[in-house]
Amino acid sequence: MSEEFYNVAEAASLPPGQGRTVSVRGREFAIWNLDGQFYCIDDLCPHRGSSLGAGNLSKSVVYCPLHGWGFDVKTGACESRPDRPVKTYPTRVVDGQVQIQLQPFSSPTPSED
């Protein structure tokens, strides 16, 4: 099954430098407009779970509002803790809508941990 795109926001509602949290399929993602290009990362900060969509963007790095860890919205890399990156998701704009691409639903599999 191919990956699926989901509408998450009107592109015009998110000017450059702005971001927000969006919800798709019961999960939250942070989308950011960086100089007219849209990027999507997981909204959940891997430190203590704050919302990265509520952070502040400087160049390509969004800073978590709670303790200031910085994440590159292009790569998901964490500049504060390189061992704690966030996942990134492809985006595109179709008919004025920002879309993010997610893997199709899959059945939960038991953890082997």
- Please report, as ranges, the residues that interact with ligand FES according to CB under 6 A: 45, 47-50, 64, 66-69
What is the smallest separation between the CB atom of 44 and ligand FES, expressed in angstroms?
A: 9
Coarse DSSP helix, strand, coil percentages of the chain, rounded to the nearest 5 percent: 5, 45, 50
Nearer to ligand FES, 5 or 63 (CB): 63
> Judged by CB, which is closer to ligand FES: 66, or 102?
66
Residue with smaller CB distance to ligand FES, 54 or 93: 54
| Least distance CB 66 / ligand FES (angstroms) | 4
CB 11 within 8 A of CB 101: no
Instruction: Report the nearest approach of ligand FES to the CB of residue 34 (Å).
Output: 20
d(CA 36, CA 1) in angstroms, rounded, equals 31
* Least CB distance to ligand FES at residue 85 (A): 13
Cα separation, 28 vs 38, in Å, equals 16
49 three-class SS: coil
Q: Which is nearer to ligand FES, 74 or 84 (CB)?
A: 84
CA 55 to chain CA mean position, Å: 11
